[in-house]
Structure formats: structure tokens, C-alpha cells
């Protein structure tokens, strides 16, 4: 077994260490989500935590880690008699992003279950993580069906495996720890709320601290065991402090005054549901125990709010993370009801990780808009009209986003699970059966019985049993939804800025980005203006990054429509090599004019026909306005092999939007 990097040797990252230690003191806090850029010791700190956890008593020989003092009466390896057990180190189980459902929940031998009636069950990662840590690196990239299973297990404290009438259930209570890079996409709100605490981490900008990080890492890589030995005393001290805090925890008093502050804070920041109040109460209690106190103080409530609320007050991925600390302090003071002195924002519990969020939290949250979640205004709707498709205009402010009609790719795909277009998936409604290719995952019982029935006399069937062999097994084929690559091709020329249309256009694209986030798509952004086109954002899962690029998009100049289409076609070509199964939907946002370059109209037509030839699904958002309309966007849609929709029709609640769908052809549709 490799030697993990010592927890106490992690440089800086006080918030991260504190959040992990609080969960070690009180697993009821509910885990922690670590958000931050790559290379910030997220995974290192999480893996180091498991070494500090106290040993776990288990029933000898139980594969499901039953507590010998209170064994699970429904344990598949049971029943167990209460009594003495054996101790083993606390486990940290890693869930790979690409894990299968069987690997997560366990595998049931369907063949033996049908032919012999034996529940031959092989436990999965949820069983291994029981009474330990379940760690998911890049949790935001986890497939939706695995997220659903995690949510069920976290809510019920148990995992259920049910297939064709055969059922297995076992306890699964774990500390959920996830790390993610926000640039790669956000989490589903349901899973986000399951994390008790959240921490934003970033690399230090102080040269001395960065030097120390490099020095320690090089020393560890040269001699992991020797480096860990030099930190053994500090590790033992923190381990002993965790044990002492756990013993003190039941004695900590959470008074009515602290409870009132917690409730008032959650109400002031308008968080949904009551889970935030409960998590704050548990976190504040753990903070007091970690500090060696038996009473929760206002400073504990404040620190708990900074850890438990930021991820719960975001309404959509475009809201800035963090809390408005001035508002937090005002709320705590208003509902304090005690003579406690003002909490020290740089203080908090001492010891490893006890630095608190303090003013650093204000830098993360307040500087980016704090509680308002507002984006910087890069212009206003009263900007001057461009003249003759002239020079660059100031970036226009986006109009408020709205709920859009569903745009989908025709045909049946086989891409990554999502919520946009029809696809063959492992989850969804059953549409047929086939012979399994590899391991059997979803049995089609009727087709299996039908395949086995003609051979019963030859197999010497006796009694009422049905002799089923491996060749008879049939895999259920299912149809669900997939995520797509939604590539936005946005006209930023001077004609789009006329009549102050760019604000409405940005609002429409922002609405489509929100829709892409909810449907688990990848997004990309190509813009064209002046004499050229550029890839403003290569395809990514981060719609937040796309929204930022869109907000600062300038306008002006001529309309090189052909250049924009050709650049988009090149982006799709590269993405098709990277991910052949993910189908694309091209959304061209323009008024249809083509004025840039030689023979602009003819070149634009030829470029559009490339998409039709490749069978790429497309839709043109027609931004033309005014009493005289040329209908150029509709002509462009015809060349693309797609359809056109106006800004008004894009709204889901518009009359036209209710009855129109994206139409097109797709040679690559199965």
C-alpha cells in the first residue's frame, strides 16, 4: 500500500482542512464538496484524511462492515449476534467517474438466481464505503444514473439491488466527499444539496508559500515513508484531537440563541428547504467540540454559515458563489441576543485547519457579487446606434433569461446520458431485447424465458423448474436521453447591434445555455464580426464559462457569415474525432445578413451546405426585427438543412414555440 501524503503537511488550504476535520469529528455533518482549479491539493488532502480517522469495529467476516454492537438485522451476510468484533482501519473508497452501475451497487448472478434460486451477490463500492468515506474525484462528471443511485443511498442509508423479483438490501452510510473543477461543469442541484459543506480552493499567490509547497512535494516524492515519518508526531496529535472531539461532541450545548441565529441566517439567504439549518447546527456543534468547548458560540454559527450555505444559495450556474459577509454579520448581530463580542473574521478554532474563511471568503464571494449573484454590467440598453455596420460597440448587457422550448437532435443516438435527444441507453424504457455483448446488466425476463422454453425437453427438465443456460439470457435494450454538443454560432456584427438587439440576443443565448446546463450538454461558442470568426469558447461542460464569454462579447463591423460557419464546421470536425458518439446541435444566432469578404452570400451558402452534407442538426435563431423583413435567416436554415425560429418563438410559453420543434436530417442518426 502506498504511503499517503500527511494531512498536516498540506500547506495552506485552511478552509479545506477544517471542513474535512469537522466531518471526521461529526460524520453527521454530511460530507464536503471541494471546488477549485486543478493542482490545488484537493485529492491529496482528502486521501490523507482517512489515515487520521479512528479504527472501525466490525463483525468478523462480514463483507458489509456491520457494527458488532448493533449489527444490521437485514445484512445479507447475517444474521449476526451482538458481541465483540475486530477493528480495521477506516476505509476511503474511490468511485471512478466511469464506473458501472454493478461496480457501484454490487452484482447479482442472474443466471444462478433464475436456475438455482440462489442470491449470489457480490458487494459493490457502496458496501465497501459503509461506515467510511466515499470519495468521488471530478464528481461533476459522474453519469446521471450513478448520481441517482448515490442520492438514493445517501437519503435512505441503504443500498437496494432489485432485478426481476430478486432483491438484496444492505446498509450503506458513508461520508460523501467530492472534488470538482467548476470549469468542467456544475453539479445537479439534488446532489449538490447532499454535500453538507462546500469549500472553494485556489492556489496561493504568495511566492514563499508556493516554494514551500514545491519543497514538501519533492521531499515526499523522493522518500514517501521518510517524509511521512517526519510528520508522524503532528499526525498523531491531530488524530488524538479528533478522538477527544468525538467524545466531547454529545456534551456540546446548542442553545436557543444559537439556533435562532442559524434559522435567521438561512432565512436571510433564502436557501431552499430545511437541510441547511440542520447542517449548520451540526457544523456549529462540531466546531465547538473541535475547539474543546461545550457551548456553541456566535463565532461557530458564523463559521458554519460560511461552510454550509454558499452552495445552497445558488439558483443557477451563473450566480456567483460565496456569501455576502456584511449581510451575514448584520443578521447574526440582529438575532444574537447575547453579549458575545464580535467574531474575529481571521480567527475561529485553532489547530490544523482552524483558520476559518474570514476575509478570504469575502474575496471569493463579495468581490464577485456576494449574495446578489449579479454579473458585471458591460453596457446598457441605451448604447448609441451603429452607423453603417461600423466600428466596435461596447458590450451590451444581456436581457433576463427565460425558459426556452426544447431543441433536440433528430434520430436515435448512443451518446453520453443526458436529457436532450433520444438515445439508446442503459437506463430508460425497455424497447426490446438482444443477446448480451459482454456482461449482462439488464435482463429481459420475457425474452429469456422465450429463448429457453423450446429446449426444456432436450435439457431434461423435471418438476416445475425452468432450465436456463447462458445462451438463453437476453439483454434488455432501453431508450432514454443523451446529452449533446450544443455549438452556438453568434453573429456579433454591427447589424446585430442595430435597434439595440444585442441585449435580447444575449438574453436568448443565455437562456439556451441554462437549458444546456439542465440537460447535461457540452457547449461551445463561435463568434463572427468584422472580417473573421473566432472560437470564443472551445467545447466544454462549463456553461458558466460560456456565460462569462458571452457577457463580454463586443459588437461591430461587417458580417463574415461564411467565416463563422466554416470555423464552426472545423470545431465540429475536431470534436467528432474526440467523442464520436456525442451528436451535435448547431445553433446559429443571426439576422442572416452576409456582408464580409468576397462574394459573401455565395460563400455563406456553400459553407451552410457543408453542415447539411454531414447531417448535422441545426437551427437558426432569427434575430431580424423591424417592419421590413428580408427573411434571410430562413434561407440560411434551408441551406443548413435545419429550421428557423424567431426570438419570440424560442420562448417555451409562446404559442408558436409550443407547436414547433427542431427539424432536420441526420445521416449519423442510428
Distances from the Cα of 658 to the Cαs of 380, 404, 633, 645, in angstroms?
32, 10, 21, 12
Look up 63 and say whether it is catalytic.
Answer: no
- Number of CB atoms found within 10 A of residue 469's CB: 12
* Cβ pair 196, 177 in contact under 8 A: no
Task: List phi, psi (to 5°) of 83.
Answer: 165, -165
Cell numbers placing 17? 482542512
Distance CA 157, CA 173 (A): 5
Indicate the DSSP class of residue 165.
T
With beta carbons less than 8 A apart as the criterion, state whether 665 and 619 touch: no
DSSP state for residue 651 in the 8-state scheme: B
Report how far residue 54's alpha carbon sits from residue 242's, in angstroms, rounded to the nearest whole number.
Answer: 8
Which helix (H) or strand (E) segment is 601 a member of?
Answer: helix 600-614
What is the pairing mode between strands 56-58 and 86-88? antiparallel
CA-based nearest residue to 594, from 493, 505, 509? 493
Burial of 275 from C-beta contacts in 10 A (0-12 / 13-18 / 19+): middle
CA distances to 325, 369, 415 from 316, in Å: 21, 14, 25
End-to-end CA, the chain: 47
Query: Which is it for strands 121-123 and 166-171: parallel, antiparallel or unpaired?
Result: unpaired
Q: Which of 169, 275, 478, 660 is catalytic?
A: 275
Report the C-alpha gap between 132 and 384 in whole angstroms: 62
DSSP letter for each residue of 224-243: HHHHHHHTHHHHHHHHHHHH
Q: What is the SS3 string spanning 244-304?
A: HHHHHHHHCECCHHHHHHHHHHHHHCCCCCCHHHHHHHHHHHHHHHHCCCCECCHHHHHHH
Contacts (Cβ under 8 Å, ≥6 apart) of 529: 491, 492, 493, 494, 554, 555, 556, 557, 558, 559, 560
| 258 secondary structure, DSSP code | H
Taking phi over 0 as left and psi of -120 to 50 as alpha, with beta for the rest, 31 belongs to left
| Maximal CA-CA distance, the chain | 90
- Rounded to 10 degrees, what is the CA torsion of 22, 187, 323, 312? -80
415-428 as b/e: b if 16+ CB within 10 A: bbbbbbbbbbbbeb
Q: What whole-number distance in Å separates Cα of residue 523 and Cα of residue 38?
A: 21
Mind giving me the DSSP string for 497-516? HGGG-HHHHHHHHHHHHHHH
Helix (H, G, I), strand (E, B) or coil at 612: helix
Residue 286's closest CA among 332, 246, 258?
246
The answer to whether 315 touches 272, Cβ cutoff 8 Å, is no
Alpha carbon distance 233, 217 (integer Å): 19
What is the rounded distance in angstroms from the CA atom of residue 540 to the CA atom of residue 486?
10
- How far is it, in rounded angstroms, from Cα 112 to Cα 123? 16
DSSP one-letter code for 428: S
Structural Rg of the chain based on CA atoms: 29
Strands 584-590 and 485-491, by their bridges, are: parallel
- Residues with catalytic annotation? 275
Amino acid at each position: 500500500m502506498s504511503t499517503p501524503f500527511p494531512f498536516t503537511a498540506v500547506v495552506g488550504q485552511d478552509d479545506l482542512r477544517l471542513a474535512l476535520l469537522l466531518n471526521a469529528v461529526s460524520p453527521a455533518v454530511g460530507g464536503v464538496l471541494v471546488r477549485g482549479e486543478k493542482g490545488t491539493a484537493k485529492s491529496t488532502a482528502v486521501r490523507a484524511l482517512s489515515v487520521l480517522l479512528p479504527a472501525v469495529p466490525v463483525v468478523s467476516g462480514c463483507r458489509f462492515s456491520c457494527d458488532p454492537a448493533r449489527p444490521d438485522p437485514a445484512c445479507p451476510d447475517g444474521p449476526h449476534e451482538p458481541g465483540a468484533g475486530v477493528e480495521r482501519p477506516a476505509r476511503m473508497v474511490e468511485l471512478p467517474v466511469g464506473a458501472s452501475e454493478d461496480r457501484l451497487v454490487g452484482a447479482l448472478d442472474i443466471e444462478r438466481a433464475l436456475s438455482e434460486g440462489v442470491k449470489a451477490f457480490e458487494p459493490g463500492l457502496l458496501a465497501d464505503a459503509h461506515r467510511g468515506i466515499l470519495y468521488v474525484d471530478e464528481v461533476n462528471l459522474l453519469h446521471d444514473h450513478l448520481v441517482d443511485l448515490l442520492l438514493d443511498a445517501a437519503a435512505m442509508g441503504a443500498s437496494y439491488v432489485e432485478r426481476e423479483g430478486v432483491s438484496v438490501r444492505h446498509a450503506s452510510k458513508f461520508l460523501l466527499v467530492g472534488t470538482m473543477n467548476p470549469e468542467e461543469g456544475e453539479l445537479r442541484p439534488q446532489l449538490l444539496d447532499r454535500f453538507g459543506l462546500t469549500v472553494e480552493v485556489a492556489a496561493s499567490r504568495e511566492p514563499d508559500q508556493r516554494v514551500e509547497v514545491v519543497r514538501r512535494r519533492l521531499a515526499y516524492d523522493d522518500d514517501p515513508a521518510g517524509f511521512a515519518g517526519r510528520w508522524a508526531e503532528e499526525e498523531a496529535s491531530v488524530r488524538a484531537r479528533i478522538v477527544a472531539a468525538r467524545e466531547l461532541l454529545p456534551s456540546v450545548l446548542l442553545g436557543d440563541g444559537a439556533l435562532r441565529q442559524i434559522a435567521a441566517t438561512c432565512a436571510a439567504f433564502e436557501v431552499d428547504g430545511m437541510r441547511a439549518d440542520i447542517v449548520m447546527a451540526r457544523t456549529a456543534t462540531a466546531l465547538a467540540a473541535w475547539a474543546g468547548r461545550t457551548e456553541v458560540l456566535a463565532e461557530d454559527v458564523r463559521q458554519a454559515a460560511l461552510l454550509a450555505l454558499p452552495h445552497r444559495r445558488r439558483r443557477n450556474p451563473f450566480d456567483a458563489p460565496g456569501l455576502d459577509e456584511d449581510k451575514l454579520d448584520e443578521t447574526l448581530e440582529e438575532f444574537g441576543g447575547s453579549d458575545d463580542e464580535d467574531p474575529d473574521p481571521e480567527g475561529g478554532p485553532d489547530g490544523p485547519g482552524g483558520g476559518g474563511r474570514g476575509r478570504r471568503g469575502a474575496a471569493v464571494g463579495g468581490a464577485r457579487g456576494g449574495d446578489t449573484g449579479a454579473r458585471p454590467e458591460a453596457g446598457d440598453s441605451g448604447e448609441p446606434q451603429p452607423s453603417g455596420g461600423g466600428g466596435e460597440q461596447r458590450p451590451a448587457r444581456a436581457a433576463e433569461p427565460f425558459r426556452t422550448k426544447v431543441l433536440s437532435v433528430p434520430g436515435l443516438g448512443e451518446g453520453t446520458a443526458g436529457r436532450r435527444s433520444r438515445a439508446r441507453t442503459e437506463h430508460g424504457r425497455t424497447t426490446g431485447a438482444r443477446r448480451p455483448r459482454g456482461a449482462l446488466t439488464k435482463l429481459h425476463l420475457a425474452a429469456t424465458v422465450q429463448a429457453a422454453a423450446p429446449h426444456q425437453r432436450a435439457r431434461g427438465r423435471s418438476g416445475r423448474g425452468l432450465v436456463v443456460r447462458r445462451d438463453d439470457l437476453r439483454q434488455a435494450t432501453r431508450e432514454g436521453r443523451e446529452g449533446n454538443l450544443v455549438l452556438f454560432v453568434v453573429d456579433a456584427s454591427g447589424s446585430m447591434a442595430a435597434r439595440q438587439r444585442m441585449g435580447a440576443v444575449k438574453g436568448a443565448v443565455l437562456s439556451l445555455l441554462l437549458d444546456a446546463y439542465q440537460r447535461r450538454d457540452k457547449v461551445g461558442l463561435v463568434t463572427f464580426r468584422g472580417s473573421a470568426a473566432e472560437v470564443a469558447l472551445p467545447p466544454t461542460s462549463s456553461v458558466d464559462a460560456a456565460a462569462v464569454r458571452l457577457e463580454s462579447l463586443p459588437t461591430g463591423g461587417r458580417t463574415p457569415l461564411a467565416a463563422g460557419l466554416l470555423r464552426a464546421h472545423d470545431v465540429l470536425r475536431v470534436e467528432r474525432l474526440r467523442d464520436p458518439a456525442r451528436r451535435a446541435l448547431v445553433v446559429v444566432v443571426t439576422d442572416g445578413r452576409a456582408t464580409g469578404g468576397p462574394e459573401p452570400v455565395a460563400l455563406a451558402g456553400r459553407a451552410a451546405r457543408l453542415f447539411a452534407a454531414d447531417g448535422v442538426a441545426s437551427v437558426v435563431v432569427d434575430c431580424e426585427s423591424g417592419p421590413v423583413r428580408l427573411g434571410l435567416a430562413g434561407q440560411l436554415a434551408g441551406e443548413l438543412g435545419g429550421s428557423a425560429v424567431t426570438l419570440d418563438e424560442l420562448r417555451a410559453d409562446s404559442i408558436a414555440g409550443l407547436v414547433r420543434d427542431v427539424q432536420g436530417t441526420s445521416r449519423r442518426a442510428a
